[in-house]
Amino acid sequence: MEDENDLDLIVIGWGKGGKTLAGTLARAGQRVAIVEASKEMYGGTCINIGCVPTKILIHDAENHAGHGFDPEYFDTAVERRDKLTAMMRAKNFSMLDTLDSVMTITGRASFIGPRRIRVHAGDETLELGAKRIIINTGAIPASSDLEGASIGGRIHDSTTLQHAPLPKSLVVIGGGPVGLEFASMFGHFGSKVTVLDRGPRALKNEDEDVAAEVLSALNDVDVEIKVRASVQRISQNAHTARVYYEQDGAPQDIEADAVLIALGRTPATHELNLVAAGIETTASGAIKVDDHLCTTAEGVYALGDVNGGPQFTYVSLDDNRIVGDAILGSGKRSTADRVAVPHTTFTTPPLARVGLSEQDARTQGLSIKVAVKKVAEIAAMPRPKIVGDARGIIKFVVDAQNDLILGAALMHVDSQEVINLVALAMRQGVTSTTLRDSIFTHPSSTEALNEVLGSFAR
């Protein structure tokens, strides 16, 4: 039953996709409410605890490389992190709060029926309904049922470790992107880092030559990676933590000042009471959506990490485009339109990837040609040498029949930028020959493509 609180749109969560869509529809004249559980999370994960703050710390860690363990320097970096995230958080809040047709609410939302929610804000409770609801609650660090793995004391997740005292020694449980980014960061800050990876080799989804370059860079800051390491339990006291694990069947243990549990991220849905709205989830706990991001409940959409898609801010932004087109446009846009979505793991130097690896392509039985060069050997790429870091590798996998790029792995200074050009070329059907013969600025990292794409193995 409609009342004065019924709206055109309710957005639950302040992530990239939801906040952007809220602003777009409000400026189009719709009545919008956006609900965020914490005032410390206006703007979402990316600007508060994810992409932006961790890259601030990574940048400052890189600038401190070689200067040893320095807690005061780390504290200064954390202070800079906090100032920038506070500024961005305030800006994100004001961008919506200043719109007359947007109601901003700080509280915890849960469904009480189809397209109706209840918000608990301190001692107050508010019920709202809307024609459409966007769920944009993101994801949280995956928990572990290991004995002693509860977050607290010397045991951290990727959020709490950003404000912990700089540990002289750190054990990272999990060798995925988050684990390796933090391992690289704290290694540069001067911590002795050990990564426990249960897989047969680190970066198992990358070709061995690419993985070897990343591992070499990690070794440069004394990061040790132990593979086939299955963690059994964790203990801690006032002074240290200890991780017990098995490696090749043999019991082992390691002591450290802090432990980071980096086992991925899981969709944040546990407080939403989805069943009340008829919203189904997948086996992994993500909200089930179709190609247009519609949930199983009419008029309810799920955007960003909560829907089980790639957990990247820029994918959440594209989710906003899909739902925006459904509401204000033709409704033709869908997730099926996404081609060649790149991603970067911000080790130092960063590893950026798009499309297929060589091992993927060969497994699929594709006819390919491969171009690969180590950065130090690329004559037409002086920029890494100019900035003092010529480590890394560039590798392209190209269709041998039509010369189209199937995938690339770039591990070098500026790779997080260059990968976007490669992804655009793939989306637009630009051949490797055209990219090879393109004109790029000098000195830049992009111009490496001129040389690398002329070096296919025969």
170 touches 258 (CB < 8 A): yes
How far apart (Å, rounded) are the C-alpha atoms in residues 324 and 317? Answer: 10
How many Cβ atoms are within 10 Å of 191's Cβ, its own excluded? 25
> What is the DSSP secondary-structure string of 188-244?
HTT-EEEEE--SSSTTTTS-HHHHHHHHHHHHHTTEEEESSEEEEEEEE-SS-EEEE
> Judging by beta carbons within 10 Å of its beta carbon (0-12, 13-18, 19+), is residue 47 exposed, middle or buried?
buried
> Judging by beta carbons within 10 Å of its beta carbon (0-12, 13-18, 19+), is residue 296 exposed, middle or buried?
middle
> What is the DSSP secondary-structure string of 360-400?
HHHHTT--EEEEEEEGGG-TT--HHHHTT----EEEEEEET
Is 442 in the active site?
yes
What is the total residue count of the chain? Answer: 458
Catalytic residue among 67, 163, 270, 442: 442
How many Cβ atoms are within 10 Å of 384's Cβ, its own excluded? 22
395 touches 409 (CB < 8 A): yes
For residue 284, which phi and psi values (nearest 5 degrees)? -85, 0
How far apart (Å, rounded) are the C-alpha atoms in residues 41 and 43? Answer: 6
CA atoms within 13 A on the CB side of 315: 21
Task: For residue 342, give every residue at least 6 positions away whose Cβ sits within 8 Å of its Cβ, in sequence order, or none.
Answer: 352, 353, 354, 419, 420, 422, 423
Active site members: 442
